[in-house]
Amino acid sequence: MAWARNVLRVNLTEGTCKNEPLNMDWAQKYLGQRGLATKYLVEETDPKVDPLSPDNKMIMTTGPLTGTCASTAGRYSVVTKGALTGAIACSNSGGFFGNEMKNAGYDMIIFEGRAPEPVYLLVENENARLIDASEYWGKSVWDTEEGIKAKHQDPLIRVASIGVAGEKGVKFACVVNDMHRAAGRSGVGTVMGSKNLKAVAIRGTLGVSVEDVGAFMQATADGKQTLADNPVTGQGLPAFGTQVLMNVINEVGALPTRNHRDVQFDGAKNISAEAMAEPRADGKPNLVTNAACFGCTIACGRISTVERTHYTVAERPQYQIASGGLEYEAAWALGAATGVDDLDALTFANFICNEQGIDPISFGATVGAAMELYEEGAIGDEQTGGLEVRFGSAEALTQLAEQCGQGEGFGAEVGLGSKLLCEKYGKPELSMSVKGQEFPAYDSRGIQGMGLAYATANRGACHLRAYTVSSEILGVPEKTDPHVTEGKAGLVKAFQDATSAVDSTGLCVFTTFAWSLDDIAPQVNAACEGDWTAERLLEVGERIWNLERQYNTAAGFTGKDDTLPARLLKDAAKTGPAEGLTNGLDKMLPEYYEVRGWTADGVPSNETVERLAL
Amino acid sequence: MRVNVKLYALLSDYLPAGAEDNQVALDLDEGTTPEDVFARFNLPRQYCSIVLVNGIYVEPSERGSHRLSENDTLAVWPPVAGG
């Protein structure tokens, strides 16, 4: 129960769609979504495969709770070998697509091979077929989604697609569903583009069954009450969204600014949640309303507008709309990382990221790197086509968003990601990334635990693998000192394992601001056969983390890749409460390997592999 | 002594009229604590979750005893999160 027990295997080379039973032995060990799809990828592909080769596979995957009435139970993930990183990639998205996929009767869809011509997959419950997508190739996510719904005369079809960026091989292209929700990181959209797969369109009406209906209704009702009663999930997130962090993180001196040259941004107040709520010249604020994904009782999403006289939209009514964003990570990357504090320019750039399917974190951070390359003279007008790519230039930001979205001009070079871009121009040290993936919005000189979290994140630098910010800054579940390294190895491991489990349920990780695994376990236990306790979920999470690590090891990553750019290890923070601090990764990493049960080289020991039954 | 007070998110409603960028500069008596400032603005205590003095977190148990100093910045948020 809860699992649909059904996998749709789509061979794009052959043009076939076949159903097969879900491996329930694996489901009991890896639960679903992130964990279970990773197990399939590990078993079915060579970790050394070129991410853009037909031999790489891309798996869209739901969790056992996806599509149920549990709060936030609309999540799905895209699991593959990442185009940006060459590491395991698992990008998680909300919206409504995941629910539709589960209600069509599928736990996962495995895409293999490469279509000879662009196609999209249409799934109507048990009927799945590949359809010529030539009319949508070259079109944006927004046009593709609207076009497919119109073509099939069904506005309730849910669509996940790539934009032009994914077709053109932008390394951090994402898969966007429901117009502005994205499986955003690591270049999963690039992999989808390499398969000539433009979109997946699903209409599902089969429903989702659970093991014990009465217990499930009680457990999910209890969970919703906990979310409603918690001041963060009941009040803070719906009112201000994730963007409320902008001023917090700036105040604690951990807001990476201008490609991590600085840790505080003078313009932070102008791009914050508070600024989004301020009336502009037209009397209306940037923020229109909050929004919820399928089944969510938190509703942290932001829906906003660009002021109609702003240079980006004044002559372009198609962008005079209310659409998704800004969320904190995007606002940081498009703003502080580039030194741009024009809220409307950021909102517009974010629209373009959604429209053309590019990850705003990697895009903004790479623009920040490009700005430093430009200011250092490593690149000039010859490379940028005359565009002055200077810190603080809203014009540069928005033009590059449009170029990158189309895979054109200097935007195509930005689309390489910061690692390849900086290497190309002889300044590899200016790439603020781990394993090729750009940092998100927390500077690890001011939040020490995040340095270890980034260095060891299996998909490259990421805040969603171990969000120690929650403890180090926000005090959830308990406050720790962000400036010390002591205790952070255990903290990072605990967050990594718990998050791996949550990401495998079908639930949103934001529930964990109010829920612990003790709140989640009764919901999983009531829905799924087998005895699911918090302890078992944590063990599953640890198993998943180690499986991902084994994949990366087999792909060629070593402990030497568990590091940070020299800027964070050697150049001390210049201002704020962390002034004088570098990240103490060297103090945390050996202890982390030890608590993980890994060798000194960062490889899971035989004992650990045996203990976790990997 | 001069102290800069910043109130964010829901707490911005408690700032005096005319406050800009969520902050106001106050002349306070020596020995003033964060708790004294909360009382001055009638801040509901359950909304005083993240309390920073010059960016450093002040534990709840110390908010009634931590003495603010000249040119300190006191910043306060209700329970918030992000990611």
Give A108-119 pLDDT, tens digit per residue: 999 999 999 999
User: Tokens 């593959």 map to which residue?
Assistant: A80
Please list every residue in chain B whose beta carbon sits closer than 8 Å to the beta carbon of residue A470. 81
DSSP code per residue over A185-217: STTHHHHHHHTTEEEEEEE--S----S-HHHHH
Residue A182, CA distances (Å) to A26, A163, A245, A295, A607 in order: 27, 12, 21, 17, 38
A237-437 and A439-611: identical CATH topology:
no
Mean pLDDT of chain A: 97
Residue A20's beta-bridge partner residues? A7
Count A/B contacts: CB-CB distance under 8 Å.
91
Q: Using CA atoms, how far apart are residues A403 and A415, in angstroms rounded to an integer?
A: 9
Pick the residue from chain B with its C-alpha nearest to A514.
Answer: B81
Chain B CB contacts of A473 under 8 Å are 50, 57
Q: Could you tell me if A298 and A406 are in contact, meaning their C-beta atoms sit under 8 angstroms apart?
A: no
3-class secondary-structure state, position A161: strand
**What single DSSP character describes residue B24?**
E
Mean pLDDT of A470-475: 94
Helix (H) or strand (E) holding A220: helix A213-229
A193: Cβ contacts below 8 Å, ≥ 6 apart: A162, A166, A167, A168, A169, A173
Helix (H, G, I), strand (E, B) or coil at A586: helix
**Using CA atoms, how far apart are residues B18 and A353, in angstroms rounded to an integer?**
37
To the nearest whole Å, the CA of A279 is away from the closest chain B CA by 13
Comparing C-alpha atoms, which of A417, A470, A497, A456 is closest to residue A589?
A456
Instruction: Supply the pLDDT for residue A314.
Output: 97
User: In the numeric block, which tokens belong to residue B43?
Assistant: 């801040």
Q: How far apart are CA A414 and CA A360, in angstroms?
A: 12
Residues A8, A110: Cα–Cα separation, whole Å: 6
User: Which ipTM value was assigned to this complex?
Assistant: 0.98
List, for residues A361-402, the tens digit of each pLDDT value: 999 999 999 999 999 999 999 999 999 999 999 999 999 999
Which residues on chain B are in Cβ contact (under 8 Å) with A476? Answer: 81
Which distant-in-sequence residues (6+ apart) come within 8 Å of A151 by Cβ? Answer: none
Residue of B nearest to A464 (CA): B83
Residue for token pair 């010859």: A382
Is A463's CB within 8 Å of B9's CB? no
B83 vs A479: CB contact, 8 Å cut-off? no
Residue A11 to residue A30: CA distance in whole angstroms: 24
- CA A80 to chain CA centroid, Å, is 13
Interface check B13 vs A, CB under 8 A:
no
The conformational region for residue A446 under phi > 0 = left, psi -120 to 50 = alpha, else beta, is alpha
- Which of A232, A509, A576 shows the shortest C-beta gap to B80? A232
Average pLDDT over residues A160-186: 98
DSSP strands (E only) in A253-335: 287-291, 301-304, 323-324
**Over pLDDT 90: what percentage of chain A?**
99
Instruction: Give the up-direction half-sphere exposure of residue A560: CA atoms within 13 A in the CB hemisphere.
Output: 2
Predicted pLDDT at B83: 80
CA A58/CA B56 separation, integer angstroms: 44
Quote the distance between the C-alpha of residue B56 and its chain's center: 12
CA distance B8 to chain A (A): 7
For B9, the closest of A244, A253, A473 (CB atoms) is A244
Two tokens at A276?
């989004």
Shortest distance, CA A307 to any CA of chain B (angstroms): 20
**B2-77 falls under which CATH superfamily?**
Beta-grasp domain (3.10.20.30)
Minimal CA–CA distance to A87: which of A185, A194, A161? A185
Interface test with B, best of A248, A264, A476 (most B CBs within 10 A): A248
Task: Write down the pLDDT at residue A102.
Answer: 98
Q: Which residues contact A601 (CB under 8 A, 6 or more apart)?
A: A558, A559
| Interface test with chain B among A72, A92, A240, by most B beta carbons within 10 Å | A240
Distance from CA of B61 to the nearest CA of A (A): 13
Would you place residue A1 in the very low, low, confident or very high pLDDT band (cuts 50, 70, 90)?
A: confident
- B82 — pLDDT class (breaks 50, 70, 90): confident
Polymer length in residues for chain B: 83
A221 HSE (CA, 13 A, CB side): 6
Residue A281, pLDDT > 90, answer: no
Collapsing DSSP to helix, strand or coil, A133 comes out as: coil
Please check whether the domain covering A237-437 is classified as CATH 3.40.50.360: no
Class of A439-611 in CATH: mainly alpha
Pairing of strands A108-112, A6-11: parallel
Would you give the DSSP letter of residue A32?
A: S
Could you tell me if A120 and A135 are in contact, meaning their C-beta atoms sit under 8 angstroms apart? no
Structural domain spans, chain B = 2-77
Contact A115, A12 (CB under 8 A): yes
Percent of chain A with pLDDT over 70: 100
Tokens of A280: 């502009």
The minimum CA-CA distance between B17 and chain A, rounded to whole Å, is 14
Among candidates A161, A66, A60, which has minimal Cα distance to A112? A60
Q: Angle, to 10 degrees, between the axis of helix A448-456 and the axis of helix A585-596?
A: 60
User: Which three-class secondary structure state does DSSP give residue A17?
Assistant: strand
Chain A nearest-CA distance from B29, in A, is: 24
Residue A145 has which token pair?
Answer: 């989604």
Q: Give the tens place of pLDDT for each residue, A525-569.
A: 999 999 999 999 999 999 999 999 999 999 999 999 999 999 999
Nearest to B55 among A244, A245, A251 (CB): A251
What is the per-residue pLDDT across A192-243, written as a single tens digit (0 to 9) for each? 999 999 999 999 999 999 999 999 999 999 999 999 999 999 999 999 999 9
CB A564 within 8 A of CB A454: yes
Which residue of A251, A269, A510 is in closest CB contact with B83? A510
Q: For tokens 């799809």, name the residue.
A: A37
* Residues of A in Cβ contact (< 8 Å) with B12: 274
List, for residues A313-347, the tens digit of each pLDDT value.
999 999 999 999 999 999 999 999 999 999 999 99
Contact list, A576 vs chain B (CB under 8 Å)? 55
Per CB-CB distance under 8 Å, the chain B contacts of A275 are none
Note the pLDDT of residue B17. Answer: 87
Answer whether residue A121 shows pLDDT above 90. yes
Q: What is the pLDDT of residues A290-317, one digit of tens each?
A: 999 999 999 999 999 999 999 999 999 9
Residues 6+ apart with CB under 8 A from A372: A258, A259, A261, A391, A427, A430
Distance CA A112, CA A9 (A): 8
CATH class of A6-203: alpha beta
- A542 membership: H or E segment, kind and range: helix A534-555
Task: State residue A122 phi and psi, 5-degree precision.
Answer: -110, 125
Q: Is B8 on the interface with A (CB under 8 A)?
A: yes
Q: A242 vs B83: CB contact, 8 Å cut-off? A: yes
**Up-side HSE of residue A297: CA atoms within 13 Å toward CB?**
17
CB atoms within 10 A of CB A148: 24
Position B71 scores a pLDDT of 97
Cβ-based neighbour number of residue A478 at 10 Å: 8
Give the span between the Cα atoms of A427 and A424, in whole angstroms.
8
**Contact flag A252-B81 (C-beta cutoff 8 Å):** no
Tokens (6 digits) for A613: 């039954």
The helix/strand count (H/E) of chain B reads as: 1, 5
**Could you tell me which residues come within 8 angstroms of residue A263 by beta carbon, excluding any fewer than 6 positions away?**
A253, A254, A255, A256, A257, A443, A445, A446, A573, A574, A575, A576, A578
Residues B71-81 have pLDDT tens digits of 999 999 999 98
Give the gyration radius of chain B's Cα atoms.
12
Average pLDDT over residues A21-35: 98
B6 vs A contacts (CB less than 8 Å):
247, 251
Domain boundaries, chain A: 6-203, 237-437, 439-611
Contact status, residue A389 vs residue A398, Cβ threshold 8 Å: no
Q: What is the pLDDT of residue A108?
A: 98
Round to whole Å and give the CA distance between B67 and B52. 13
- Residue A127 tokens read as 């009927």
Exposure string for A545-572, b = 16+ CB within 10 A, e = fewer: bbbbbbbbbebebebebbbbbebbbeee
CA–CA distance, B53 with B78 (Å, rounded to integer): 15
Q: Which residues of A touch B (CB under 8 A)?
A: 230-233, 235-237, 239-245, 247-248, 251-253, 269, 273-274, 328-329, 463-464, 467, 469-470, 473-476, 479, 509-510, 513, 576-577
pLDDT at A10: 98
Residues A291 and A237: their CA atoms lie apart, in Å, by 11
Please name the residues between 18 and 77 in chain B that touch chain A, using a CB distance below 8 Å: 21-22, 46-47, 49-50, 52, 54-57, 59, 73, 75, 77
